[in-house]
């Protein structure tokens, strides 16, 4: 009987998560549907391009919800490799530049030298993308997001600094809680996923912030040799 009620509890929890995910994916899909209908109903003019762009953005949003959800449920890191964190960060910034320049936001990077780590590159990319996206979303138009990468003892330390809306002490405490969001179109998945990934990598992620001033997110990761030493 106890087992049965445990199973029921589990199913209920699963159902809740599935319902939230379905909801998060249904919103962008409904928007895409609406814009495609607008395009079909009208003549092809300048507005059509805007509609298409919104539809594409919404599809990307749906895709990132699914991706975040999958990596949240995925129990562990799978594909280990050695790579340079500076190179990965550079790659991520290039990928996010269309998104940031849309808001007139510039990335200011300060990297010092190559820094090799040994972990699941794709998962780390997702964690960093989620953090930088939040920094861009919190930032006012025509501002900059600073990205510093430096050695800190036996760790690589990546800092993402924005001069955006910032957070109160209570808000900082809630970061990383599944589904916590203050955004109209937010999912509250991004930081939960990032925290889980970085912790699985035996790294550390912490936030410092001041309401109205801005936020610093600090991600530390063990360097290649250290990671090997600690797992052996």
Footprint of Mg ion on this chain (CB under 5 A)? 134, 190
Q: Given the structure tokens 């990965």, which residue do they identify?
A: 88
CA 61, CA 17: separation in Å to the nearest integer? 18
Residue nearest to Mg ion (CB): 190
**Binder of residue 135, out of Mg ion, ligand ADP, none (CB less than 5 to 8 A by kind):** ligand ADP
**Binder of residue 182, out of ligand ADP, Mg ion, none (CB less than 5 to 8 A by kind):** ligand ADP
Is residue 58 within the footprint of ligand ADP (CB under 6 A)? no
Q: Which is nearer to ligand ADP, 64 or 155 (CB)?
A: 64
Q: Which is nearer to ligand ADP, 27 or 48 (CB)?
A: 27
Instruction: Pick from 66, 180, 202, 218 the residue near ligand ADP by CB under 6 A.
Output: 180
Q: Which stretch binds ligand ADP (CB under 6 A): 31-39, 92-100, 104-112, 159-167?
A: 159-167
Residue 154, both tokens: 């036996």
Q: Is 214 left (phi over 0), alpha (psi -120 to 50) or beta?
A: left
CA 180, CA 211: separation in Å to the nearest integer? 17
> DSSP per residue over 32-66, as a string?
HHHHHHHHHHS-SSHHHHHHHHHHHHHHHHHHHHH
Instruction: Pick from 86, 161, 175, 205 the residue near ligand ADP by CB under 6 A.
Output: 175
Q: How far is the CB of 132 from ligand ADP (least distance, A)?
A: 9
Q: Which of residues 115-154 bind ligand ADP (CB under 6 A)?
A: 130, 134-135, 138
* 68 neighbors 187 (Cβ within 8 angstroms): yes
Is residue 208 within the footprint of ligand ADP (CB under 6 A)? no
Q: Which is nearer to Mg ion, 134 or 139 (CB)?
A: 134
Query: Mapping DSSP to helix (H, G, I), strand (E, B) and coil, where does residue 126 land?
Result: helix
Q: Which of residues 185-204 bind ligand ADP (CB under 6 A)?
A: 186-192
Burial pattern 19-37, b for ≥16 Cβ within 10 A else e, equals: ebbeebbebbeebbeebee
Is residue 182 within the footprint of ligand ADP (CB under 6 A)? yes
CA 64, CA 83: separation in Å to the nearest integer? 24
* 126 neighbors 132 (Cβ within 8 angstroms): no
For 47, residues 6+ apart whose C-beta sits below 8 A from its C-beta are none
**Binder of residue 183, out of Mg ion, ligand ADP, none (CB less than 5 to 8 A by kind):** ligand ADP
Instruction: Pick from 74, 103, 165, 202 the residue near ligand ADP by CB under 6 A.
Output: 165
């Amino acid at each position: 009987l106890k087992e049965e009620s445990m199973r029921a509890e589990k199913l209920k929890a699963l159902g809740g998560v599935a319902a939230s995910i379905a909801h998060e994916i249904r919103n962008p899909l409904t928007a895409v549907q609406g814009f495609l209908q607008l395009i079909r109903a009208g003549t092809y003019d300048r507005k059509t391009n805007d509609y298409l762009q919104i539809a594409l953005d919404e599809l990307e949003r749906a895709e990132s919800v699914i991706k975040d959800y999958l990596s949240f449920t995925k129990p562990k890191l799978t594909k280990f490799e050695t790579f340079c964190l500076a190179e990965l960060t550079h790659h991520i910034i290039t990928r996010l530049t269309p998104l940031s320049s849309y808001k007139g936001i510039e990335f200011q990077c300060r990297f010092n030298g190559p820094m090799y780590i040994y972990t699941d590159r794709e998962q780390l990319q997702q964690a960093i993308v989620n953090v930088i996206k939040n920094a861009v979303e919190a930032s006012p138009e025509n501002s900059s997001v600073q990205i510093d990468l430096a050695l800190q003892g036996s760790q690589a330390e990546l800092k993402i600094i924005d001069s955006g809306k910032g957070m109160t002490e209570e808000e900082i405490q809630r970061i990383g809680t599944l589904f916590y969001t203050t955004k109209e179109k937010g999912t509250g998945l991004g930081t939960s996923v990032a925290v889980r990934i970085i912790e699985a990598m035996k790294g550390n992620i912490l936030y410092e912030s001041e309401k109205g001033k801005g936020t610093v997110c600090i991600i530390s990761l063990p360097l290649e040799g250290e990671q090997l030493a600690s797992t052996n």
